[in-house]
Amino acid sequence: MTNIFTGKSIKEGVKILARIMKESKYAVVLTGAGMDTESNIPDFRGEDGLWRKIDPRVVASIDTFKENYTLFREFYSERIERLNFVKPHVGHYILADFEMRGIIKSIATQNVSGLHRMAGNKKVYELHGNIRSIRCNNCGKEAEMEDFLSNNKCANCGEKALRPNVVLFGEVLPFNEWISAESDIKKSDLLIVIGTSLEVYPVNQLPMLSKGRLVLINKEDVDTYYNFDLKLIGKAGEILRELMEAYE
Ligand code: OAD
């Protein structure tokens, strides 16, 4: 049976999570775009989500990259330039502290912002890549961000094929990151899922691989068939702050 806590009852739910964390030996975290909204990066399917305004298949797909590079580059340049102004929020730092103290083992994330690493987490599996690094889609060589933003050709092969290192619709996930996340989640006795609609395959299959307890921290209830043991409905940053206090 799922225990759901929201609003005034959140402190009670947080205390339960703190106890579960103390009991667990291998806790893993899975995050999505809702983890970054308090750092002012919009999510995709939430209230002000990016995909409510733009169809992802129109801008973030390998077909658009090949057929309408101008649109593709404009969309990603804007997203990259916004990142200059964002920083990890308190929730990211709390997760970094939890990893440093061995309370969580790793973070598997769908986020391409790099904020978990920036906050200090070391074991981060970036399942959808990282928007802050650029490669050439033709020769595979790493490239300078400035060249992508300035619409330059690849300095290595001369093709106009620079792109961020993110997974586009129509592409497979990075193999090593996926295998590592899958292996850690299979080993986990607690999986804390934070800020994701769990709508996107294959990452939405990962919660099913944990044989341990499943906890959701999300602004809204997104679950249809996951069997979460505990749900804390609210903002990730605020709940993690409460959790940090409850854990001590
Ligand atoms: P979504 O936008 O689908 O879901 C984000 C979830 O976080 C929603 O349920 C929000 O209600 C919730 N949320 C928003 N702010 C929150 C906050 N402060 N605290 C807690 N929850 C909050 O994002 P993802 O599930 O990450 O893929 O989306 C998965 C993938 O879809 C993305 O990685 C991206 C997108 O297409 C690619 O681009 C390949």
CA distances from 192 to 47, 49, 71, 209, 231 (A): 23, 22, 36, 13, 10
What burial class does residue 158 get, using C-beta atoms within 10 Å of its C-beta: 0-12 exposed, 13-18 middle, 19+ buried? exposed
Q: Just list the catalytic residues.
A: 128
Rounded to two decimals, what is the model's pTM?
A: 0.96
Phi, psi angle pair for 4, to nearest 5°: -110, 130
Measured in Å, residue 234 CA sits from the centre of ligand 1 at: 14
Distances (CA, A) of 166 to 163, 192, 239: 8, 24, 29
**Is the CATH code 3.30.1600.10 the one for domain 43-85+133-166?**
yes
Q: Is 196 in the pocket of ligand 1 (CB under 6 A)?
A: yes
Instruction: Show pLDDT as tens, one digit a residue, over the chain (248 residues).
Output: 779 999 999 999 999 999 999 999 999 999 999 999 999 999 998 888 888 788 877 889 999 999 999 999 999 999 999 998 999 999 999 999 999 999 999 999 999 999 999 999 999 999 999 999 999 999 999 999 999 999 999 999 999 999 999 999 999 999 999 999 999 999 999 999 999 999 999 999 999 999 999 999 999 999 778 999 999 999 999 999 999 999 98
Closest CA to ligand 1's atom 10:
46
Q: Is 128 in the pocket of ligand 1 (CB under 6 A)?
A: yes
**Nearest Cα residue to atom 35 of ligand 1:** 44
Which residue has the least CA distance to atom 16 on ligand 1? Answer: 34
Domain ranges of the chain: 1-41+88-128+173-248, 43-85+133-166
- The third-level CATH classification (topology) of the domain covering 1-41+88-128+173-248 is Rossmann fold (3.40.50)
